[in-house]
Every structure is written in C-alpha cells, then in structure tokens.
Chains A and B, each alone.
Chain A
Amino acid sequence: MSEPAFTLKATGRLRRRQLVNKGMGALAVGAALLAVAVLAIVVISVGSRGAGSLNLDFFTQNQAQGFNPKGGGVLFAIVGSAVLVGIATLIALPLGVLIAIYISELAPPRLARVARIALDISNGIPTIVIGIFVFTILVAAHGQSAFAGSIALAIIMLPLIARATEEVLLLVPSSQREASLALGVSRWRTTVQVVIPSALGGILTGTTLAIARVAGETAPLLFLTSLGTSSTADASPFHPLQSLTLVIFTYSDQADPAYQSKAWAAAFTLMCFVLFTSLAAKLALARYRKKLGG
C-alpha cells in the first residue's frame, strides 16, 4: 500500500483517548513482564544456588555422622516425602474418584451441589488448620507419625482429586453411557467398565497435579511428623519421618552455610519435581480434554 497523501492526526479528545489506551496497554504488558521476571528470578536463584550442591551423594546418602554438615545427603528426606505422599495418594485417590462418581453420575442435583460446595470450601481451608485438626484427633493421643502426616495430606488432596475427576467424568460423552445402559448393562458396570476407563487419563493427570501440590506442603507436617526423626532412611509410616520440605525449612534456619547450601539443593530438587510434574500433567490434561471434547 502506498502512503496516503496526507495523514489524519488525532487531536483533542480523541488524542487523549488514544493516549490513555496506549498507556493502559503498556501497563498490561509491564505487569505480564513483571510476573515472568519474578518467576525467572526465583527459578534462577534457586537453580544457581542449588545445582552446585547437587551430587550423587546428595540423593543416595543420609546425613553424615556427628552432624558434619559438609558430607552426606538427604536420602532420608526423599524417602520420607515419598512415603508421606504415597500413603496420602492411596487414601485420597479412591475416595476422590468415588465422590466424583456420586456427584456427576448418581446424585440428585441438589445433593450434588451441596457436595460440590463442600469440596470447594474444603479446598479453601488453610493447610495449617487441617494440620491442627489431625493433631487433635491423632497426634495428641498417639504421638507423631508419618501416617498422621499422610492423613493431613490426603485431606488436602481429596477436594483436588474429586473436582478434577468430576470434570473429566462430565466430558465422557453421554452416548457411551446410554449405549451401555441400552444393552442392559447395569449402572454399576457401566460406570466401572465404560465411564471410568474412558476418563482414566484425566483422573490420573488430576491426581498428578494433586501430588505436585502436596509434595510442597510443609506447615501441617511440622507438628505431625517432624519430632525426633532419625536422619537415616526409614520407610515405616508408624515412625515420624522427615520430608524434603521439612529439611528445607530446618536447614534454612542454620547459621552454617553448608546447611544453607543443602537447603538450596533440596529446594532445587523439590522445585524441579513440582514444576515438571505439574507442567506435564497440565499438558496431558489439555490434550485429553481436546480428545474428549472433540
């Protein structure tokens, strides 16, 4: 296109409106850049401080004897985190799926709404309050254990898994259910053999997101499973166990810089795990939605 012979130039009110428009656009760009910059600064500062202290010993050794902060690793905390999150998932996954089946397949609309609201409200309860709750029902009488920590994590996971599962169950086309029911298959078998299998991918990615979320949970574990823990690897759910998050917290408080660099290394390990699993799960979920949504 050729340049016009003369250009129209906005003046007066129009000029002001266009300036305001430009200014607001610039602010929006600035805010988005700021958010990305903060993410980059956090990731880079954790990465640059943490990656240097990572070595094979860090993952395969326990704390060195005699509280020598230099050597050794955090195997005990990795094992502890795995046990805590593993048991929590074993409790929350089946319960969450059952709740979702009830809400999306069987419940009368009114009850389904009550259950949904209850789940959303549970999701908003501060995790420290859930920790105190488990403290009063389990730890006050029986002492600390990894199992108590797992119960708290399971309560945190439950609404996440139930809501994510409900969402994918709703995506399963009703024609599949109707076809199965029309063939005379019972509701129970339709749900278990038709609906669940075609929602399985979505359920698993939803669960992965919940795992990524509770793997970073610290506050409720402080008074449920942190006292008198040994710094050797232990997988018994009946003992108090350490976790990666607890190690980050306790090491960050130590004056010795060797401990601080271990805290950074643990933070880097945890951050990589959480970011990669949640990113992968989100990608899988988006793809799965596209597939079912047609």
Chain B
Amino acid sequence: MLKAITFSAAALAVSILGLIAFELVRGSRLAFHKFGLGFVTSQTWDTIHNQFGALSLIFGTAVTGILAIAIATPLAIAIALFLTELAPKPVRALLGALVEMLAAIPSVILGLWGILVLGPFVQNQIEPFLGSTLGFLPFFRGQHSPTGILTAILILTIMVVPIVASVTRELFTTVPSELREGALALGATRWEMVRGVLLPAARPGILAAVALGFGRAVGEAMAVLMVIGGTIGIHLSVFAHSDTLAARIAGQYNGASTNLQTSSLIYLATILLAISLAVNIGAQLLIKPIDRRPRRRRIVLDRALEAQGLSAD
C-alpha cells in the first residue's frame, strides 16, 4: 500500500519531465510546420508580418551565458579556495553563509538593481573605460547605454558565482587531507599543492558545477529581460542591446497576438529546454563518470581502499 502510493508519487515526478517535453513539442507544432528547422537559422522576429526565427536569440543566450560563466568560474574557484584553504575557521562559516545569501537574492531584485544602479554605472564608468582602452577591438565599440549585453553578463555573473563557488567548496572539503599534507610535506608551496593535488582531484566536479552554472545563466529570464535591452539582431559589441531565448519568452508574455506567435514562443521554450537538458545531463555524467580505469588496477585500488575501511562507491 505505502509502496504503491509512494511509487506513484515518484512516477509522477519522472513523468512530469516527459510531459513537459511532450507538451512543448506539441505546442510548437504550428511554428514548426511553418518555419521548420529554418527557425533556428533565421534572425527575424517580426510580429507585424508574422515571421519568426530564433538565431539572434540563440546568439544572445550563448554570448551572455558563455561570457558570464567564463568570468564567474575563476572567481568562484578562488572564493572556494579561500574558504577551504586560507580563511581562519570562524571566517569560513560566516563567509560561506554570505556567499550563499548572494545566491538566495531573487532574480527580479537583481534585475531591478541592474537597471537602476548597475546600469548607470556601466554606462558612465565601465563602458567609457573599456571603449578608451580596448576600443580598437570590435567588441567594445558603439553607443554607451545602461542596458545591453555587458550589463546582462555582469548580472548573470553575480547570479552564477555563488552557485559554482558553493559546489566547488564542497568538492575541496572532500579531498582527503592526507593528500594535501603529503604535497606540503614534499616541500610544495600551498599554491603548488592546490594546482597539483586539489584542482586535479576536483576537476570533474568543477566541470559539473560549471555546467550547472551555465544552465542557470542560460535559463534566467527575469533579470536578463530587465537589463539586456530586448532587441533582435546580432552584434559583435558587448555594448549593444540584444535578447535571449528566456528573456524573449518572458517579455512577450501577454503580448502574443497570433497563434503562430504563441507557437513560436513555445518553440523557443523547446529549444531552451533542449539546451538545459543537454547541459544538465552532461553535468550528471560528469558527477558519476563511467569508470574507465583498467580492470586489474581498479580491483587493486578498490581492495586498498577497502582495507582502510573506505569504499570505492
């Protein structure tokens, strides 16, 4: 009896996943029949002529997501290193809690802060500075404005850093202290110990954390909607306005005037779901990697671990 009830609850949870995919594919049928796979390679989003395409949104999603995670990853690893290796004990708990608080701030609040506080700072300080020092590159040209790709990247970085940092911190604490001490006893400096022992031991986990953070950045709708400017088109400059898949869906929430537009928005959601599934499943595989060690060495290693009361699983 209990087993039947709890089993159906678990089955429901698993089937919701399938149901979400099914409903999105069904809802995007109309747009798929009209535009086919060309939807993905078309830049147009024209509500007047009822022509829709996702390319510039995919571009905006990729640029903001990739650059945000590229800035966030080294910062997050550095924070995790400080929290596990350098900070005195009482500081660790306090600082760890503060970093997690940063992750708890709702995205709509970060968006509000992004347009009204960060945006003007980006327009008046960061963009003029980047323009005057790196303006010879095509990435830092054009009109300065409080909204745009750069502001979106900064907001996403703030959202992603605490996620990657807290996972990485967990990983570092699970590395056995014998390994650390061994490296230090051999005369390695602390940084050499980090580079030679800690980072290699935690690498698959860090990659998984980066994947999770990227998934989060790609799926963020509210904060990005509020700061990115919401225009269609592919521009090289990070000063330019742009739009992402998630932000476009959220931005046109009640404005869809035709069935084809609604269906196109659901098509966007389907693409977004596919991206986030790929990223998340990738992260799962990284966390539980397929064991590729040669069989004999594996047995020897596992016996050695068991002898010390540890299990390889």
Taking Cβ atoms with an 8 Å cutoff, the residues of A that contact B are: 17-18, 20-21, 24-25, 27-32, 34-36, 38-39, 41-42, 45-46, 49, 95, 98-99, 101-103, 105-107, 111, 114-115, 117-122, 124-130, 132-133, 136-137, 140, 155, 158-159, 162, 187-188, 191, 212-213, 215-219, 222-223, 226-227, 245, 248-249, 252, 260, 263-264, 267, 270-271, 274-275, 278-279, 282
A122–B13 touching, CB < 8 Å: yes
Q: Which residue of A lies closest to B283 (CB)?
A: A124
Q: Which residue of A lies closest to B275 (CB)?
A: A126
A129–B219 touching, CB < 8 Å: yes
Given contacts A99-B10, A267-B112, 8 further A-B contacts (CB under 8 A): A49-B116, A124-B277, A126-B276, A188-B2, A222-B253, A263-B112, A271-B106, A282-B100
Interface string of B91-120 (1 = CB under 8 A from A): 000010111111011111111110111000
**Residues of B with C-beta under 8 A to A282:** 97, 100
**Residues of A with C-beta under 8 A to B109:** 42, 46, 216, 248, 267, 270-271
**Residues of A with C-beta under 8 A to B106:** 215-218, 245, 270-271, 274
A219–B250 touching, CB < 8 Å: yes
B209 to chain A, nearest CB (A): 12
A128–B86 touching, CB < 8 Å: no
B13–A159 touching, CB < 8 Å: yes
Report if B183 contacts A (CB, 8 A).
no
**Residues of B with C-beta under 8 A to A49:** 116
**Residues of B with C-beta under 8 A to A212:** 104
Q: Which stretch, B45-53, B126-134, B136-144, B184-192, touches the partner chain A?
A: B184-192
A279–B253 touching, CB < 8 Å: no
**Residues of B with C-beta under 8 A to A215:** 106
Which of A99, A124, A270 makes the CB contact (< 8 A) with B280? Answer: A124
The DSSP consensus for interface residues of chain A is helix
B98–A36 touching, CB < 8 Å: yes
Listed from nearest, the 8 A-B pairs whose CB atoms lie closest are: A216-B106, A126-B219, A102-B6, A31-B78, A98-B9, A124-B280, A21-B189, A219-B221
Q: Which residue of A lies closest to B211 (CB)?
A: A124
Instruction: State whether A274 and B105 are in contact (beta carbons under 8 Å apart), knowing that A17-B189, A102-B9, A248-B112 are contacts in the complex.
Output: yes
A278–B219 touching, CB < 8 Å: no
B1–A188 touching, CB < 8 Å: yes
**Residues of A with C-beta under 8 A to B189:** 17-18, 20-21
A38, B103: Cα distance in complex, Å: 12
**Residues of B with C-beta under 8 A to A36:** 95, 98-99
Report if B204 contacts A (CB, 8 A).
no
Q: Which residue of B lies closest to A248 (CB)?
A: B108
**Residues of A with C-beta under 8 A to B12:** 95
Q: Which residue of B lies closest to A38 (CB)?
A: B158
**Residues of B with C-beta under 8 A to A17:** 189, 192
A226–B110 touching, CB < 8 Å: no
**Residues of B with C-beta under 8 A to A133:** 19-20, 23-24, 269
B75–A128 touching, CB < 8 Å: no
B101–A279 touching, CB < 8 Å: yes
**Residues of B with C-beta under 8 A to A101:** 2, 6
The DSSP consensus for interface residues of chain B is helix
Taking Cβ atoms with an 8 Å cutoff, the residues of B that contact A are: 1-3, 5-7, 9-10, 12-14, 16-17, 19-20, 23-24, 26-27, 74-75, 78-79, 81-83, 85-87, 95, 97-102, 104-113, 115-117, 158, 161-162, 165, 189-192, 194, 212, 215-216, 218-222, 225-226, 246, 249-250, 253-254, 265-266, 269, 272-273, 276-277, 279-281, 283-284
B299 to chain A, nearest CB (A): 22
A226–B27 touching, CB < 8 Å: no
Q: Which residue of A lies closest to B190 (CB)?
A: A21
A118, B11: Cα distance in complex, Å: 10
**Residues of A with C-beta under 8 A to B1:** 188
A233 to chain B, nearest CB (A): 21
A106–B23 touching, CB < 8 Å: no
Instruction: State whether A114 and B272 are in contact (beta carbons under 8 Å apart), knowing that A31-B82, A136-B23, A222-B250 are contacts in the complex.
Output: no
A153, B34: Cα distance in complex, Å: 33
**Residues of A with C-beta under 8 A to B222:** 218-219, 245, 249
**Residues of B with C-beta under 8 A to A191:** 2
Instruction: State whether A260 and B116 are in contact (beta carbons under 8 Å apart), knowing that A28-B86, A35-B102, A227-B254 are contacts in the complex.
Output: yes
**Residues of A with C-beta under 8 A to B220:** 126
B273–A125 touching, CB < 8 Å: yes
**Residues of A with C-beta under 8 A to B75:** 31, 34-35
**Residues of A with C-beta under 8 A to B108:** 216, 218, 245, 248-249, 267
Q: Which residue of B lies closest to A188 (CB)?
A: B2
B249–A252 touching, CB < 8 Å: no
B86–A29 touching, CB < 8 Å: yes
B276–A275 touching, CB < 8 Å: no
B190 to chain A, nearest CB (A): 6
Which of B5, B111, B161, B284 makes the CB contact (< 8 A) with A121? Answer: B284
Q: Which residue of A lies closest to B27 (CB)?
A: A136
Instruction: State whether A128 and B269 are in contact (beta carbons under 8 Å apart), knowing that A121-B277, A162-B13 are contacts in the complex.
Output: yes
A218, B226: Cα distance in complex, Å: 12
A283 to chain B, nearest CB (A): 9
A20, B280: Cα distance in complex, Å: 36
Which of A21, A129, A187, A218 makes the CB contact (< 8 A) with B2? Answer: A187
Q: Which residue of B lies closest to A128 (CB)?
A: B221
**Residues of B with C-beta under 8 A to A105:** 6
A137, B24: Cα distance in complex, Å: 10
